[in-house]
Amino acid sequence: MSSKLTPGKLIVFSAPSGSGKTTIVRHLLAQEDLNLEFSVSATSREKRGSEIDSKDYYFLSVDEFKQHIKSDDFLEWEEVYRDNFYGTLKAEVERIWALGKHVIFDIDVSGGLRIKRNFPQSTLAVFVKPPSIDELKIRLKKRQTETQDKINMRVAKASAELATAPLFDCIIENNVLDVALKEAYDNVSKFLN
112 is a domain residue: yes
Answer yes or no: is pLDDT of 3 > 50. no
Q: Which helix (H) or strand (E) holds 46?
A: none
Which is nearest to 85 in space by CA: 101, 99, 67, 102? 67
1 is a domain residue: no
Answer yes or no: is pLDDT of 8 > 70. yes
CA atoms within a 13 Å half-sphere pointing along the CA-CB vector of 85: 21
Cα–Cα distance for residue pair 109/171, rounded to 1 Å: 12
- How far, in Å, are 96, 97, 148 from residue 91 at the CA level? 9, 10, 36
Residue 38 region, left (φ>0) first, then alpha (ψ -120 to 50), else beta?
beta
Segment among 24-28, 106-110, 171-175 with least mean pLDDT:
106-110
Q: What is the pTM of this model?
A: 0.86
Answer yes or no: is pLDDT of 5 > 80. no
Cα–Cα distance for residue pair 89/67, rounded to 1 Å: 12
The pLDDT, as a whole number, for residue 1 is 57
5 is a domain residue: no
What range does the domain containing 143 cover? 10-192
3 is a domain residue: no
Q: Residue 133: which residues within 8 A CB-CB, separation 6 or more?
A: 155, 158, 159
pLDDT digits (tens, 9 = 90+) for 153-167: 878 888 889 999 999
- CATH code of residue 98: 3.40.50.300
